Amino acid sequence: MTDIGEAFDTIKRAVLTDMDYAWAWHCNLAVPMMDAAAISHESANKAAALIMAQMFDCDITKHPAFDYAKSPAQEYYEIRSAADKE
Q: For residues 33 and 70, what is the distance between their CA atoms, to the nearest angstrom?
A: 17
- pLDDT tens for 49-61 read 999 999 999 999 9
- pLDDT tens for 15-58 read 999 999 999 999 999 999 999 998 999 999 999 999 999 999 99
**Is residue 12 over pLDDT 90?**
yes
Q: Which residue has the higher pLDDT, 5 or 86?
A: 5
Could you tell me the pLDDT band of residue 1, with boundaries at 50, 70 and 90? low
- Residue 69 CB burial class (10 angstroms; 0-12, 13-18, ≥19): exposed
